[in-house]
């Protein structure tokens, strides 16, 4: 079967490896035939050559791990040892080994759910990041009438903006150094700010501090502190993304004096929130068309990742399809 592996920074190689079959399944696992995958921001550090602090890195060189680093996957069930999945089901969710860039994928069935068959596989793959966003917003609590600021307006940040507005946020501010003025309004952003988070913070009036600040940049430490300092008294800061470092310095004086709450965490109850993402997408039929802006075939994986690394104002989500 075909698979991709990283052989050097910024370089994929397509290889042939032994087929994965039903014999490879453990309890609760399913075998998928690859239909589509999504390129996530957390996939880009491995593509650039970072090791050791990225999801799915088990200590071996990424070049030794076929299929790495893709985890957003859509597939057809070929075999199942999970009670809720049947042969022929089309499912979306997590490639639990972060090895979804291959023809046949073994995955944990608890991280997969069936999706609306009316969706194309490239659109269906968007339900995985949407599930993550909806779960995070559940942890924050009601947003009705609140001012929500989202630091980072990449594919995850724009989903946060859209979902926050749909869930009743009174005002959504999106902050990104990339010019998102052409697409921000379609994602519910009221105030489109083209600036780095520290520059935005330096001009922020006390009355403009947000009730909820979501750090959707990831892979750096400074932006979390900017989120803390941008939160209004009594506000909530949510850190979303991959922490590349064990320790992040934050302004504890600001946390204490302003009675702030800091939250974070991985997505749990995955089958439930994937179903919730499907319901949300049906209720907002404009979302997936606006979100999945670029689609590549499996012979164009290198091109897909190279585009993901470039700052392109009208690019949101990149899908790879069979």
- Residues 119, 143, single domain; the answer is no
- Residues 255, 136, single domain; the answer is yes
Low-confidence ranges of the chain (pLDDT < 70): 51-63
Which residues is 295 bridged to in the sheet?
319
- Residues 110, 136, single domain; the answer is no
- Residues 10, 58, single domain; the answer is yes
Q: Which of 134, 139, 123 is nearest to 163 (CA)?
A: 134
- CA 213 – CA 158 distance, rounded (Å): 14
- Residues 28, 44, single domain; the answer is yes
Query: In this structure, are residues 156 and 133 in contact, taking their beta carbons and an 8 Å threshold?
Result: yes
- Residues 142, 218, single domain; the answer is yes
- Residues 136, 186, single domain; the answer is yes
- Residues 138, 257, single domain; the answer is yes
Query: In this structure, are residues 86 and 80 in contact, taking their beta carbons and an 8 Å threshold?
Result: yes
The per-residue pLDDT for range 14-26, each reduced to its tens digit, is: 999 999 999 999 9
- CA 67 – CA 51 distance, rounded (Å): 16
Look up the CATH number of the domain holding residue 165.
3.40.50.720
The per-residue pLDDT for range 56-82, each reduced to its tens digit, is: 565 555 557 999 999 999 999 999 999
Query: In this structure, are residues 148 and 173 in contact, taking their beta carbons and an 8 Å threshold?
Result: yes
Look up the CATH number of the domain holding residue 49.
3.90.180.10
Q: Which of 311, 310, 40, 295 is nearest to 159 (CA)?
A: 40
Give this prediction's pTM. 0.96
How buried is 19 (Cβ within 10 angstroms: 0-12 exposed, 13-18 middle, 19+ buried)?
exposed
Three-class SS state of 23: helix
- Residues 221, 291, single domain; the answer is no
Cβ neighbours of residue 108 under 8 Å, at least 6 residues apart?
28, 29, 94, 96
pLDDT value, residue 61: 53
* Domain of residue 224, residue span: 129-263
pLDDT value, residue 58: 57
**Given 263, 281, 309, which residue is the final one in a domain?**
263
- Residues 139, 251, single domain; the answer is yes
The tally of domains found in the chain comes to 2
**Given 263, 291, 311, which residue is the final one in a domain?**
263
**Given 263, 294, 313, which residue is the final one in a domain?**
263
- Residues 145, 248, single domain; the answer is yes
- Residues 9, 113, single domain; the answer is yes
């Amino acid at each position: 079967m075909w698979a991709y592996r990283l052989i050097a920074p910024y370089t994929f190689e397509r290889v042939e490896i032994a087929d994965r079959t039903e014999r490879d399944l453990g309890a609760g696992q399913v075998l998928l035939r690859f239909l589509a995958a999504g390129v996530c921001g957390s996939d880009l550090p491995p593509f650039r050559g970072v090791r050791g602090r990225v999801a799915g890195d088990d200590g071996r060189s990424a070049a030794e791990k076929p299929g790495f680093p893709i985890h957003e996957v859509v597939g057809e069930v070929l075999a199942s040892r999970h009670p809720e999945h049947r042969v022929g089901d089309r499912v979306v969710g997590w490639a639990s080994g972060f090895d979804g860039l291959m023809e046949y994928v073994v995955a944990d069935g608890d991280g997969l759910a069936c999706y609306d068959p009316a969706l194309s596989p490239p659109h269906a793959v968007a339900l995985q990041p949407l599930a993550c966003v909806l779960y995070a917003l559940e942890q924050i609590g009601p947003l009705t009438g609140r001012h929500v600021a989202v630091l980072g307006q990449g594919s995850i940040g724009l989903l946060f903006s859209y979902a926050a507005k749909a869930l009743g946020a009174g005002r959504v501010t999106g902050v990104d150094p990339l010019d998102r003025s052409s697409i921000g309004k379609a994602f519910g952003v009221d105030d489109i700010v083209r600036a780095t988070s520290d520059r935005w913070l330096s001009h922020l009036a006390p009355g403009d501090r947000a009730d909820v600040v979501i750090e959707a940049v990831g892979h750096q430490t400074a932006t979390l502190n900017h989120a803390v300092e941008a939160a209004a008294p009594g506000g909530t800061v949510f850190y979303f993304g991959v922490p590349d470092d064990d320790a992040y310095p934050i302004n504890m004086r600001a946390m204490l004096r302003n009675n702030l709450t800091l939250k974070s965490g991985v997505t749990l109850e995955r089958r439930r929130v994937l179903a919730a993402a499907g319901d949300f997408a049906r209720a907002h039929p404009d979302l997936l068309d606006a979100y999945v802006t670029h689609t590549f075939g499996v012979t164009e994986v290198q091109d897909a990742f190279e585009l993901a690394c470039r700052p392109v104002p009208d690019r949101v989500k990149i899908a790879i399809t069979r």
